[in-house]
């Protein structure tokens, strides 16, 4: 009990949680001596306000000095009250456990808190079963990952994929389990069959999860099941397309179409699809294949197809649309096809109209004479994530049935100017190389060869070339070039910088 002469005030709150230790300063008016003692308190909330309730006086806690140790003590007392048994020493300071057990004993005996029945039954056991564990003595082996594999396996089970492979694709039990294991592995750890087999044996529990003995997993089995899955690709895609629609009640009102490619390290001499083409990964030295994919607005893949590596974007759309119509549920209404300018050729747009598809794409057309169909005061300005303005307008062009969304972005205009400057620098650097060749011993000096080099340069940089005047000075015999000069025209400000148009057959929404 405190002396009537004592003046008590709160010095600080060390921790604010469910249970915390409050530091109290006591001053004796007779001697003027100040010293700290501590209380175990409980924090609780009433509406938007936090209240504190004192539970127990802990005394001076002479062996516990730091705030961290007081936090450990409060947490340990709370764990004893809740009936948790600690397997590890809470601190190198043995006094923490001693103080915690003493405090818990007083709370239990004096009934300072309402303990639940489980805590009452296990409190004695919690005291007597406490042990110290040397963390440095703990070792582990054969550690395997399971979390991501379990999520993917649950998804496959929800889609009933194993049953479909067995009943509709002719997979036996071992093949079906191996297929699920391989699909889950690719989702968690995308790699080659050889690397995947190593990962399954060394790092993952996916084999056990799919009832496959680990010693039977090898790259040859994975190669075999990959070929069997690809042989049933059409049926599997159609099943997954329909199943995801039924599972999530989707109608595929919008589909997105795009094309990418990937390269091979080997020669691929016997391949019917691998060809040299324009690689998106800048691997002009390697053969590539093209992959076309169609996804719906929810992100589910509806269709995919592998094409020859040298195919262009515009050549793939018609085949894809024809094959997609049999695999996507439309509910009597065909979806809107969303694509970029690479597919938006005039022939492809006509084809989509003929087949009854609506479309939305970045327009290839260079619109000049267009008119807004929105009143001046109703035009829209939106802002991107960096708060940069983007102007929007709905316009129509003469002799064109489609509607266009006018988009003007200041950031895109800045980017275009920057790109033009970049190409101009490279253009002038190449011109300087041609000029150096004229003056250098052994360089290209013949007039026709110099003009040929300039022509190739113009073909390479058509955007930059239109801003330059180039002159080649010939010798008296008009056979060799003696110098090359150029001058840059001052470009006029362009009103269409940062402007592009989104083209659609859909009618504009009237607000």
**Can you tell me the distance from the alpha carbon of 434 to that of 454, in angstroms, rounded to the nearest whole number?**
8
Sequence-separated (6 or more) residues with CB below 8 Å from residue 478: 447
In what helix (H) or strand (E) does residue 358 lie, and over which residues does it extend?
Answer: strand 358-362
Flag whether pLDDT at 191 surpasses 80. yes
- Give the pLDDT of residue 7: 42
Cα diameter, the chain: 121
> Six-digit token pair at 12?
């600080």
pLDDT band at 329 (very low <50, low <70, confident <90, very high): low
User: In sequence order, which residues have a C-beta less than 8 Å from that of residue 84 and are 6 or more positions away?
Assistant: 126
Domain boundaries, the chain: 6-132, 147-231, 252-362, 370-511
Q: Could you tell me which residues are beta bridge partners of residue 485?
A: 471
pLDDT, one tens digit per residue, over 50-61 is 778 888 888 888
Burial label, 65 (beta-carbon count in 10 A; 0-12, 13-18, 19+):
exposed
Alpha carbons 119 and 108: distance in angstroms, whole number: 10
- Quick one: pLDDT at residue 53? 83
Q: Band of the pLDDT at 417, cuts 50, 70, 90?
A: low
The pTM is what? 0.57
The better pLDDT of the pair 413, 439 is held by: 439
- Contact residues for 118 (Cβ-Cβ < 8 A; gap 6+): 83
Torsion of CA 307, 309, 314, 319, to 10 degrees: -10
- pLDDT, the chain, mean: 82
Tens of pLDDT, residue by residue over 238-286, are 899 889 988 888 888 888 988 889 998 888 888 989 999 888 888 889 9
Top CATH class of 252-362 equals alpha beta
Across 435-459, average pLDDT: 88
pLDDT at residue 85 tops 70 = no
């Amino acid at each position: 009990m405190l002396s009537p002469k004592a003046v008590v005030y709160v010095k600080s709150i060390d921790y604010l949680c469910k249970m915390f230790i409050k530091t109290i300063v006591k001053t004796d008016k007779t001697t003027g001596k100040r010293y700290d003692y501590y209380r175990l308190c409980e924090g609780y909330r009433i509406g938007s306000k936090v209240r504190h309730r004192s539970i127990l006086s802990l005394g001076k806690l002479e062996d516990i000095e730091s705030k961290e140790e007081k936090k450990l003590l409060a947490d340990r007392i709370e764990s004893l009250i809740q009936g948790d048994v600690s397997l590890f020493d809470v601190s190198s300071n043995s006094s923490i456990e001693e103080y915690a057990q003493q405090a818990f004993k007083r709370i239990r005996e004096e009934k300072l808190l309402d303990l639940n029945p489980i805590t009452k039954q296990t409190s004695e056991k919690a005291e007597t079963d406490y042990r110290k564990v040397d963390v440095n003595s703990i070792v582990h082996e054969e550690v395997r990952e399971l979390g991501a594999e379990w999520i993917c396996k649950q998804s496959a089970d929800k889609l009933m994929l194993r049953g479909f492979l067995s009943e509709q694709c002719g997979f036996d039990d071992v093949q079906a389990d191996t297929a699920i294991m391989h699909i889950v592995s690719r989702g968690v750890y995308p790699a080659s069959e050889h690397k995947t087999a190593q990962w399954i044996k060394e790092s993952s529990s996916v084999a056990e999860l799919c009832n496959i003995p680990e010693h039977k997993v090898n790259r040859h089995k994975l190669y075999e099941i990959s070929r069997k899955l690809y042989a049933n690709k059409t049926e599997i895609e159609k099943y997954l397309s329909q199943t995801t629609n039924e599972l999530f009640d989707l109608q595929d009102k919008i589909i997105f179409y795009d094309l990418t490619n990937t390269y091979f390290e080997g020669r691929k001499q016997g391949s019917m699809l691998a060809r040299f083409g324009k690689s998106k990964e800048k691997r002009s030295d390697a053969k590539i294949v093209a992959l076309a994919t169609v996804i719906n607005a929810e992100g589910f893949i509806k269709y995919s197809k592998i094409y020859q590596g040298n195919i262009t974007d515009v050549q793939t759309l018609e085949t894809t649309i024809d094959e997609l119509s049999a695999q996507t549920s439309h509910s009597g209404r065909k979806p809107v096809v969303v694509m970029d300018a690479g597919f938006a050729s005039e022939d492809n747009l006509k084809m989509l109209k003929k087949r009854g598809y609506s479309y939305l794409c970045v327009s290839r057309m260079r619109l000049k004479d267009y008119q807004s169909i929105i009143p001046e005061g109703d035009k829209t300005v939106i802002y991107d994530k960096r708060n940069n303005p983007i102007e929007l307008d709905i316009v129509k062009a003469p002799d064109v049935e489609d509607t266009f969304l006018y988009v003007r972005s200041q950031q895109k205009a800045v980017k275009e100017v920057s790109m033009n400057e970049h190409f101009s620098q490279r253009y002038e650097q190449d011109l300087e190389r041609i000029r150096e060749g004229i003056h250098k011993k052994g360089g290209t000096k013949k007039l026709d060869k110099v003009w040929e080099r300039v022509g190739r340069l113009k073909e390479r940089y058509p955007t930059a070339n239109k801003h330059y005047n180039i002159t080649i000075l010939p010798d008296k015999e008009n056979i060799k070039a003696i110098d090359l000069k150029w001058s840059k025209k001052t470009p006029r400000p362009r009103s269409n910088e940062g402007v592009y148009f989104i083209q659609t057959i859909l009618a504009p929404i009237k607000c």
